[in-house]
Structure 1
């Protein structure tokens, strides 16, 4: 009887989303089974790996990550073109690091110009990633959406604090969104519901569940992504049936283990291979829990991840995958010298070889008579003492070896304590420097805000003074005009008409009767 694989029946699936325009558009999602479980369902679109670039020259990258791009890091457009032409990037992620209010605080117009240059330089889809400051991201993404109208960019991260402004811009100018939430299934569902209620077309939404680097919270991200996939597939929750994206490279390469040199961490081996493998292993983990778009940095780590995807979809072995191609000089680490001394002695043998404890000498008794014959006895005991001394030499040698091992262990322990103390001091100094930098940035921001407020206050005062001066001048002008008019009236001669009495003087009654006759036309 042939073996039959037990298959799981799924009630839901992942929606598809396309980013980019025209022939360069790429579609992700569409699975009806768990990642790579193609014996239970379909996986029509393979996961997409996008290469990240920055809109400013990195200052804190590890040397291993900087070497492949060192000639183009000052020009984002050239950087993006190199990723596509030389490293075969399927998409480009432009990290807008310069807009961070705590760093350069670049203007939205400047960021939009950079995005436009990158779009013009490459033909693959472009993803625009903000600085995770909700207010600034909203300001920048509105301008970017307008400048790059109908290019179907993937904009994010969109959070509960700024989703309205960015979603409105995306709907108006034809872009897609990255709905971001902080490692929580309910919060991921909530932001999707908010976007849907706002009117955002949900076939243009990708979920960012928040990404942790290898060993730095990846377990939490992995478990949340698993639960999102289970809710979408097995429970049929249509509010969670969206493709997922992970900003992996940015998280892995900022870990201290990815930056430490061989001198700082000799037990971790070659720094270049170590960091590349950290990113590649993290990519495999996120692919297995349902990631549809991976943002990565190093070309070699991307190559390894693509080989893994190819093997999982098409089958085959990864044993023939080429090893990591180094760009930096090889680092030789003498692990044998770093290892503690090898001690193969069995514990029971150590105890048996230990020298016997010396007994306290017996108290001599005072003889009643002179002990004249004692000299011959002493001479007889001399050979026996010499034999005991010869027998005790191996024990002394063992004791010396044990003391040497203990001294080496003590020296190693002291070295470890010193290294730990140095690391703690360095961490403390880094923390203090960070706090100081934050305080300086805060003080600078407050000073700028105060200067801006004073400038606005001064401008308002100047405007008010100018308005009052203008009104005063106008009132003086009107007063002069009135004075001139009054003087003119005074200078004109007064003409008085001459009055002569009527020939016939009429009484009041006669005058009334004449008036009535005139009114009634009696005359």
Structure 2
């Protein structure tokens, strides 16, 4: 009997969405199974990797990331062209870092001009990524959407606070949108609902769940992406059945470990290989979570991840995959010099040697005692006895007792150990007291803040109630004054209006009016 895989049945699938137009357009999504579960469904389109470029020369990139592009970082168009021609990029992501209000604060017109230059340099689909400043991104994306309406761009991130302005521009000029939310399934769904209510076609929406670098940030993002896929596939939630994009390079290469030199962190190994592997490991992790588009930076990381995608989708082996090609000079790290001195002492052997050391002095003392009588026959005459100084015999006759000396050493060691133990207990007690005090202070502070917050909320509610009551009272007084004015007008007959009393052109009898009314009712109410 042959083994059969258990196959899960899914209630939904991921929508296939096209990025760009024309011959170089790329389709992502379309999965009917979990990532790489091709024994349960289909993955008609492989996940894609987009190479990122910046609209300004980066200032804080580590040397490993800057080296492949150091000759073109000052020209975004040349940078994009190098990514396509030399590294085979299928997608380009233009990061509009210069538009950050906290940085260069470039104008929407300048950003739009840069986008046009990049579009003129390459023919692959272009993704435009903002700086996550709601007001500035909205102004910049509106300008770019209008100026580049002859091509289809993918613009983002778009959040709930600026979805109306950017969504309207994208709909009006035929662009796609990246809906972004802060690592939360419900918020991701909410943004898509808002865009759909606005009228944005859902076949032009890609989800950005927010990407974290290596560490617990990645775990949060991974869990949310899993839940997005589960909601889309297993629960059939059509508001989440869109491809996922991850802005990975921006997060990995800005972390401390990717920037540290060999002098700063020698135990982390070669900085160039370290950064490349960090990006590659993060990319593979997000692929397993369900990513359809990965934004990456280093060509070697991209090469490794593309090889992984091909083997995972088509089968094969990575044994012949070339190792990482270094562009920087090699580093020589003496790990032996950095390693601590090994402690080769074995505790059990020390315990065995201690009784043997005590027995050795006893054995030596017995022959010495037997040798005393033999010394008497060899005694010299009286004259020779006088010549022999008495004090010199004292040290030889009264050697230190080895057993007493060993006992003293043991007592000294026990005392030292007891002192050390007492000191450790005192330190532990002091540390516990300090931690308890800090915890109590934190709890007291939190309690005070909570009480202050509750008090402020109550005061705000009371003020709001008072304002509402005042507004209602003012409205009641206004309506009362209006009623009094109308009553006075009716009493005096001065309404201020002249009512026309012109007779109808055709005078109808009462019966004719009734029949006309009945005919009107029958026309209005259908008969079944």
- Same fold flag (TM > 0.5): yes
Q: Which runs of 5+ in 1 are unaligned?
A: 358-371, 400-523
Show structure 1 runs of 4+ deviating over 6 A: 354-357, 372-377
Q: Does the residue aligned with 1:23 lie in a helix, a strand or coil? A: coil
Cα contact 1:18–1:28 (8 A) shared by 2: yes
Distance 1:375 1:294 in 2: 91
Instruction: Give how far 1:2 is off.
Output: 1.1
Distance 2:79 2:112 in 1: 17
Which residue number corresponds to residue 58 of structure 2? 58
Question: 1:341 aligned to 2:341?
Answer: yes
Question: 1:266 aligned to 2:283?
Answer: no
Instruction: Give how far 1:345 is off.
Output: 2.4
Instruction: Give how far 1:377 is off.
Output: 7.6
Which residue number corresponds to residue 328 of structure 1? 328
Deviations 1:341-362, CA, capped at 9 Å, x for gaps: 11232112234456989xxxxx
Which residue number corresponds to residue 155 of structure 1? 155
Instruction: Give how far 1:316 is off.
Output: 1.4
Question: Please, what TM-score do these two structures have when normalized by structure 2?
Answer: 0.68
C-alpha distance 375-85 of structure 1, shift in aligned 2 (>3 A): closer
Which residue number corresponds to residue 281 of structure 1? 281
Deviations 1:235-268, CA, capped at 9 Å, x for gaps: 1111110000000000000000000001100110
Which residue number corresponds to residue 106 of structure 1? 106
Which of 396, 419, 423 aligns to 1:379? It is 396
Distance 1:288 1:244 in 2: 12
Instruction: Give how far 1:336 is off.
Output: 1.2
* Residue pairs, 1:96-495, within 5 angstroms: 96-215=96-215, 217-353=217-353, 379-382=396-399
Cα contact 1:150–1:175 (8 A) shared by 2: no
Instruction: Give how far 1:19 is off.
Output: 1.1
C-alpha distance 319-109 of structure 1, shift in aligned 2 (>3 A): same
Which residue number corresponds to residue 37 of structure 2? 37
Deviations 1:415-473, CA, capped at 9 Å, x for gaps: xxxxxxxxxxxxxxxxxxxxxxxxxxxxxxxxxxxxxxxxxxxxxxxxxxxxxxxxxxx
Distance 1:266 1:310 in 2: 34
Question: 1:10 aligned to 2:27?
Answer: no
C-alpha distance 283-349 of structure 1, shift in aligned 2 (>3 A): same
Question: 1:85 aligned to 2:58?
Answer: no
Instruction: Give how far 1:375 is off.
Output: 8.2
Which residue number corresponds to residue 71 of structure 1? 71
C-alpha distance 166-381 of structure 1, shift in aligned 2 (>3 A): same
Q: Does the residue aligned with 1:44 lie in a helix, a strand or coil? A: coil
Instruction: Give how far 1:303 is off.
Output: 0.5
Cα contact 1:99–1:105 (8 A) shared by 2: yes
Distance 2:109 2:396 in 1: 107
Q: Does the residue aligned with 1:65 lie in a helix, a strand or coil? A: helix
Which residue number corresponds to residue 515 of structure 2? none
Distance 1:376 1:97 in 2: 93
Distance 2:390 2:260 in 1: 79
Distance 2:308 2:260 in 1: 27
C-alpha distance 267-21 of structure 1, shift in aligned 2 (>3 A): same
Distance 2:392 2:208 in 1: 97
Cα contact 1:211–1:248 (8 A) shared by 2: yes
Instruction: Give how far 1:174 is off.
Output: 0.7
Deviations 1:48-72, CA, capped at 9 Å, x for gaps: 1000000001011000000000000
Cα contact 1:93–1:126 (8 A) shared by 2: yes
Instruction: Give how far 1:78 is off.
Output: 0.2
Cα contact 1:189–1:240 (8 A) shared by 2: yes
CA RMSD of aligned residues (A): 2.3
Distance 1:379 1:27 in 2: 100
Bigger CA radius of gyration:
1
Instruction: Give how far 1:147 is off.
Output: 0.9
The count of aligned residue pairs is 376
Distance 1:61 1:202 in 2: 36
Instruction: Give how far 1:374 is off.
Output: 10
Distance 1:121 1:374 in 2: 105
Instruction: Give how far 1:145 is off.
Output: 0.5
Question: Please, what TM-score do these two structures have when normalized by structure 1?
Answer: 0.69
Deviations 1:176-233, CA, capped at 9 Å, x for gaps: 0000000000000000000000000000000000000111500000000000001111
Deviations 1:257-315, CA, capped at 9 Å, x for gaps: 00000110011000000000000000000000000000000000000110110110011
Q: Does the residue aligned with 2:94 lie in a helix, a strand or coil? A: strand
Q: Which runs of 5+ in 2 are unaligned?
A: 359-388, 414-528
Instruction: Give how far 1:151 is off.
Output: 1.1
Instruction: Give how far 1:47 is off.
Output: 0.4
